[in-house]
Amino acid sequence: MIRRLNADDYISCMKLVKERPAENLFIISDIETFGFEEDFQEVWGDFDDQNKLRAILLNYEGNFIAYSSGEFDAEGFALTFSNSRKAIMLSGLDHITSAIIPFVQIPLYRSRKLYYAKCESTAKLQSVSTSLVKQASIEDCYRITDLYNQIDEFDRPSSANERIRNMEKGVSRTYFIEDNEKIVSAVSTTAENQYSAMVVGVCTLDTYKNRGFATQCLHKLSQDLLGEGKSLCLFYDNPKAGRIYKRLGFEDMAMWTMTMIK
């Protein structure tokens, strides 16, 4: 049985996703931060015959994320996704989304598979100068959004308003390097919670590449968050980027799939 969850389901919901906190970073952060009643967020649950919660489908701003610890109603989740007017993307661990996609009833554009990696220690962090790196404030959000809108590989960068909201909630932060007041390189977090944070938006404008700017930003972010006792997670599909992340202490833990609708 699938139904929409509410505040009364919080304990069972968090018990399920905290079985694998790194893999469920987005779900944990979104529920802890925004709960079950926001206009931009819905949480659906699949219950077994004993009325035990066994799977979750979270919709945040049209981005659906699924998780299950075992068997679940993949067809039911596919219908929930297909019937949503807000649907933009379905994402999650590859073996979970692969079970849902065959039942989706709306046209899909493409699937992208990424490595999902995490870092839990500063042991591999080398000495890197971060004197140029600044941590963004609310006032910098529009310039950050302008940078991300210039990066072709970013399918759906956050709006300035969404970035401001998340920064105010404490679930996102950005580190950047600027040149003549123009932000030219940056790295951000999203879905920060008490356990971990997702590293996103690692980028540099083409004319400023090969100067180590992105590495400096990532190094400073890693120092700060690991120092706060949080583990770091990120996605990558570029082997060159993967080598850089692994030198900083990231290790692969799973494959993650993101599928866009047409």
What pLDDT digit, counting tens, does each position of 134-184 carry?
999 999 999 999 999 998 877 667 788 999 999 998 999 999 999 999 999
CATH architecture of 2-106: 3-Layer(aba) Sandwich (3.40)
Q: What is the pLDDT of residue 153?
A: 78
Residue span(s) of the chain under CATH 3.40.630.30 come to 119-255
CA–CA gap between residue 88 and residue 109 (Å, rounded):
10
CB atoms within 10 A of CB 70: 7
- The answer to whether 65 and 26 are in contact (CB under 8 A) is yes
Region 40-58 average pLDDT: 96
List strands edge to edge, sheet with 108-119: 2-4, 41-47, 53-60, 63-68, 89-93, 251-261, 108-119, 231-236, 196-204, 182-190, 174-179, 134-135
Q: What is the pLDDT of residue 213?
A: 95
CATH no. of 119-255: 3.40.630.30
**Among 43, 38, 18, 37, which residue's Cα sits nearest to residue 28?**
18
Query: 125 pLDDT exceeds 80?
Result: no
| Single-letter residue type at 90 | L
| Single-letter residue type at 252 | D
What pLDDT band is residue 12 in, cutting at 50, 70 and 90?
A: very high
Half-sphere exposure of 68 toward its Cβ, with a 13 Å CA cutoff?
Answer: 23
User: What does the H/E/C string look like for the chain?
Assistant: CEEECCHHHHHHHHHHHCCCCCCCHHHHHHHHHHCCCCCCEEEEEEECCCCCEEEEEEEECCEEEEEECCCCCHHHHHHHHHCCCCCCEEEEEHHHHHHHHHHCCCCEEEEEEEEEEEECCCCCCCCCCCCCCEECCHHHHHHHHHHHHCCCCCCCCCCHHHHHHHHHHCCCCEEEEEECCEEEEEEEEECCCCCEEEEEEEEECHHHCCCCHHHHHHHHHHHHHHHCCCEEEEEECCHHHHHHHHHCCCEEEEEEEEEEEC
Helix axes 10-17, 25-34, angle to 10 degrees: 160
> Each residue of 56-102: pLDDT tens digit?
999 999 999 999 989 999 999 999 999 998 899 999 999 999 999 99
CB atoms within 10 A of CB 111: 15
Phi, psi dihedrals of residue 154, rounded to the nearest 5°: -90, 105
